[in-house]
Amino acid sequence: MKQLISQINLSLRKANIFTDFKKIRELRKKSSETSRSHYSVEDVKIMTGAGDHLLLDFINPFRKIYVGTLEKQIVGYIEIAPSKEWLWHIFVHPSYAGKGIGKFLMNKVEEMFKQEDLENIKLYARLNAVNFYKKLGFVEKGRHNWKNIFTRYKSFEMKYMVKKI
């Protein structure tokens, strides 16, 4: 059984484009590899490459990016759009999977949304992450086919999920 990391050791801070960009990009790439359980190797490669718009997300005034750190090392990150009640991304480094970091990050998202007097957290989940979200109280609301210029207009099945807060 994997040992949970004490939340005392975890912290969340706003991401810095100059010092965190490269680390977040690497974390996304490593974390995306876990999607191979539900998507092909080629699909994971395309989905990971689609995340290369991260630089645009940093300058998007409607999005906020935070990193979860453990002993000053980035072990996860979240990207939210509170004005839309939306969680765009949550990634945990695979070396820390199953140790409570994803739950810690989701609790922080919920706290931030509650401070904004929001009623829901909405997201599109990769198929391999659906059970994680269900354990945290999210409900499946249907299928979502993700495709855009970054996926070369290839469609990827995801699930639209919502949690009332």
Is the domain spanning 10-164 CATH 3.40.630.30? The answer is yes
Report pLDDT for 131: 97
Write the CA distances from 72 to 9, 12, 69, 76, integer angstroms. Answer: 10, 10, 5, 12
Q: How many CA atoms lie within 13 A of 59 on its CB side?
A: 4
Across residues 59-68, what is the average pLDDT?
Answer: 96
Instruction: Inform me whether the pLDDT recorded for 52 exceeds 90.
Output: no
| pLDDT tens-digit series, residues 66-93 | 999 999 999 999 999 999 999 999 999 9
For the chain, give the percent of residues with pLDDT over 70. Answer: 97
Strand 120-126 relative to strand 156-164, pairing: antiparallel
User: What's the pLDDT score for residue 140?
Assistant: 98
Distance CA 24, CA 52 (A): 11
Instruction: Answer yes or no: are the C-beta atoms of 121 and 90 closer than 8 Å.
Output: no
Q: What is the pLDDT of residue 136?
A: 97
C-alpha separations of 38 from 70, 123, 124 in Å: 29, 18, 15
How much is the average pLDDT of 100-117?
97
Res 7: pLDDT: 66
Residue 53 reports pLDDT greater than 90: no
Q: How confident is the model at residue 49 (pLDDT cuts 50, 70, 90)?
A: confident
* Residue range 112-124, pLDDT digits in tens: 999 999 999 999 9
Give the per-residue pLDDT at 54: 87
29-38, 51-60, 93-102: which range is least confident on average?
51-60
The pLDDT of residue 26: 94
pLDDT at 2: 64
Q: Domain limits of the chain?
A: 10-164
Contacts with 107 (C-beta within 8 Å, 6 or more apart), sequence order: none
CA distances from 29 to 22, 24, 111 (A): 11, 9, 27
Query: pLDDT band at 25, cuts 50/70/90?
Result: very high
